[in-house]
């Protein structure tokens, strides 16, 4: 009798998980193409452009060379053989020029993922915070961009045992930042059951300049993270929940969840527009195709990029929102879209391990 009940419960759990993943993986989603204006690839980026940070003058720093950490042994061997971690620089003011591979003045084991930047208003210094997947652990590399030499000067490496599986970073001060751990098991085979059983073993951490502590102790695959322009709100994408979590930031740097935006699409990274405060989001439009593309980069996972505009009252702007689908492509121009940034009517759409797209927005979004 007890056995029957246990079996029944197990069947129910399995059914629930199957339905959950069928919905999350986008098995029945179709992406139809539409561009906001002329769009093209940015040379010479072919090893991904997972995350992008932009200065107020239109200098975009792009992380590239990310080999999916999850189940690395199943990833396309071409990626494992040829991808090298790098940071590209693209200048929105001279878009006809290629993106430039920036040299780092220190030899480090480098596979970058999330990126954030801070501009010092008085000195004009551009400081980058980059999530780095080193061989055996994850770190945050802090670098300063040298505008004359056009290189990156490595300042320091920050790491902590709490960094279990870093994904993205957002700096809120010259020495402090929030990071997301997208799970517990970094790239071992134990990550598969952790993910399939929807175990909320990811987290959000805060580094205050001296030490790291946990601000969101339990989360299921949190991904991109960003902070509002006035630093009062923190946004975390939850692609497996097809939601964006909006947190209120307290004076002690702790976070309180205030909104769960049901966007019904899996957003990877989020960029808060420095002028409008709107959220620009790159989507993993059909997640199961992203998984197929990881095993064979010739398969295309269609690209989608959106802008989320809050429409709530001034006291609670994210109470309601409008979601604009700014860019969608299933022609192969871009596969595995992960982020989008906007500068002066121009877009850069990045991908996890494919190319980089530049669009001129003729239609106002």
Partner 1 sequence: MFLKTVAFILLAFLVQRAWKLSLGFGTSDVGYINRPGPCRNVAPIETGSEDIAVTSNGLAFISSGMQLSDMCSSAVDARFSQFVGRIYVFDFQNSKQDAVEVSLPKELQYNFSPHGIDLLEDSETGEILLFVVNHRKIGEFVEILSYQPESRSLSMVRSVTHELFTSLNDVLAIDRNSFLVSNDAYFRSCWRILEPLLGLRWCNFIYFDGTVGQSIIENGHDFNSVALSRNGKQVYLTRPSEMKLEIYNRSKGTETLKLHQSINVGMAVDNVFSDQSTGDLWLGSHPSLALLTKHLSDIDLRAPSQVIRIQPLGPQNDPFNTYKLFSPFGDDGELVSGSSSAVHFKDKLLIGTVAHKVAYCEVQS
* Cα–Cα distance, 266 to 284 (Å, whole number): 5
Residue 5 marked as a ligand binder: no
Answer yes or no: is 168 a known binding residue: yes
Peptide bond between residue 27 and the one before it cis (omega within 30 degrees of 0): no
When the beta carbons of 191 and 278 are compared against partner 1, the nearer one is 278
Contact flag: residue 35 with partner 1 (CB under 8 A): yes
Among 28-36, 54-62, 199-207, 221-229, the segment contacting partner 1 (CB under 8 A) = 28-36
Of residues 234 through 273, those in contact with partner 1 by CB under 8 A are: 262-265
Take residue 303 and report the two structure tokens written for it.
């690209």
* Contact status: 4 vs partner 1 (CB under 8 A): no
The residue within the footprint of partner 1, chosen from 281, 301, 306, 340 (CB under 8 A), is 306
Given the residues 34, 113, 133, 322, select the one marked as catalytic: 113
CB of 97 to partner 1, least distance (A): 24
Q: Which is nearer to partner 1, 38 or 174 (CB)?
A: 38
Contact with partner 1 (CB under 8 A) among 8, 38, 174, 312: 38
* Burial tier of 48 (Cβ tally within 10 Å: 0-12, 13-18, 19+): buried
Instruction: Rule CB under 8 A: say whether 36 interacts with partner 1.
Output: yes
Is 269 annotated to bind a ligand? Reply is yes
Least Å distance, CB 328 to partner 1, is: 6
Residue 23 phi, psi (nearest 5) = -70, -45
Nearer to partner 1, 45 or 281 (CB): 281
Q: What's the distance, Cα to Cα, between the start and end of the chain in Å? A: 60
Of 308-347, which residues contact partner 1 (CB under 8 A)?
Answer: 322-326, 328, 330-331
Residue 23 or 316 with smaller CB distance to partner 1: 23
Q: How far is the CB of 293 from partner 1 (least distance, A)?
A: 19
Shortest Å distance, C-beta 242 to partner 1:
9
Say whether 93 counts as a known binding-site residue: no
Among 234, 235, 232, 238, CA closest to 218: 238
Here the tokens at position 339 are: 């982020």
223 appears as a binding residue in the annotation = yes
Upper half-sphere CA count for residue 27 (Cβ side, 13 Å): 6
Question: 28 phi and psi, to 5 degrees?
Answer: -110, 20
Q: Is residue 16 part of the contact set for partner 1 (CB under 8 A)?
A: no
Q: Name which of 165 and 266 has its Cβ closer to partner 1.
A: 266
How many CA atoms does the CB half-sphere of 137 hold within 13 Å?
11
Least distance from partner 1 to the Cβ atom of residue 322, Å:
6
User: Active site includes 153?
Assistant: no
Question: Which CA distances in Å does 71 have to 76, 127, 249, 278?
Answer: 11, 32, 34, 34
Q: Quick one: 37 or 77, whose CB is closer to partner 1?
A: 37
Q: Are 59 and 88 in contact (CB under 8 A)?
A: no
Instruction: Assess 30 for contact with partner 1 (CB under 8 A).
Output: yes
CB of residue 249 to partner 1, shortest distance in Å: 26
User: Going by C-beta distance under 8 Å and a sequence separation of 6 or more, which residues neighbour residue 178?
Assistant: 169, 170, 172, 204, 205, 206, 207, 215, 225, 227, 234
For residue 93, the SS3 value is: coil
Rounded Cα distance between 16 and 19, Å, is 5
Contact residues for partner 1, defined by CB under 8 A: 28-30, 32-38, 262-265, 306, 322-326, 328, 330-331, 362-365
Residue ranges of the annotated binding site for Ca(2+) are 50, 115, 167-168, 223, 268-269
Could you list the active site residues?
113
């Amino acid at each position: 009798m007890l056995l029957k009940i246990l079996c029944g419960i197990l069947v129910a759990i399995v059914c629930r998980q199957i339905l959950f993943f069928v919905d999350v993986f986008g098995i029945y989603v179709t992406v139809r193409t539409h561009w906001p204006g002329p769009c093209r690839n940015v040379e010479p980026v072919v090893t991904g452009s997972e995350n992008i940070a932009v200065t107020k003058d239109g200098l975009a720093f792009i992380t590239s060379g990310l080999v999916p950490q999850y189940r690395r042994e199943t990833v396309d061997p071409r990626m494992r053989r040829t991808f090298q971690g790098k940071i590209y620089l693209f200048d929105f003011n001279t878009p006809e020029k290629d993106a430039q591979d920036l040299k780092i003045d220190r030899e480090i084991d480098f596979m970058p993922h999330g990126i954030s930047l801070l501009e010092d208003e008085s000195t004009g210094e551009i400081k980058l915070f980059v999530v780095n997947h080193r061989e055996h652990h994850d770190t945050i590399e802090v670098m300063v961009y040298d505008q004359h030499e056009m290189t990156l000067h490595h300042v320091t490496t920050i790491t902590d045992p709490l960094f279990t599986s870093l994904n993205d970073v957002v700096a809120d001060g010259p020495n402090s930042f929030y990071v997301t751990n997208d799970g517990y098991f970094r790239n071992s085979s134990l990550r598969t059951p952790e993910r399939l059983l929807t175990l909320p073993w990811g987290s959000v951490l805060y580094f205050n300049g001296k030490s790291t502590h946990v601000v969101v102790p339990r989360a299921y695959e949190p991904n991109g993270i960003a902070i509002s322009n006035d630093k009062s709100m923190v946004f975390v994408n939850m692609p497996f929940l097809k939601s964006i979590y909006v947190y209120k930031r307290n004076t002690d740097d702790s976070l309180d969840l205030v909104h769960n935006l049901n966007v019904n699409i899996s957003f990877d990274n989020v960029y808060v527009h420095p002028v409008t405060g709107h959220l620009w989001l790159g989507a993993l439009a059909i997640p199961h195709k992203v998984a197929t593309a990881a095993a064979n980069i010739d398969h295309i996972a269609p690209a989608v990029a959106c802008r989320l505009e809050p429409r709530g009252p001034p006291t609670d702007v994210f109470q309601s929102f409008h979601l604009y689908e700014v860019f969608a492509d299933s022609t192969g121009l871009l596969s595995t879209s992960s982020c989008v940034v906007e500068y002066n009517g121009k877009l850069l759409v990045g991908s996890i391990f494919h190319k980089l797209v530049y669009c001129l927005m003729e239609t106002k979004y």
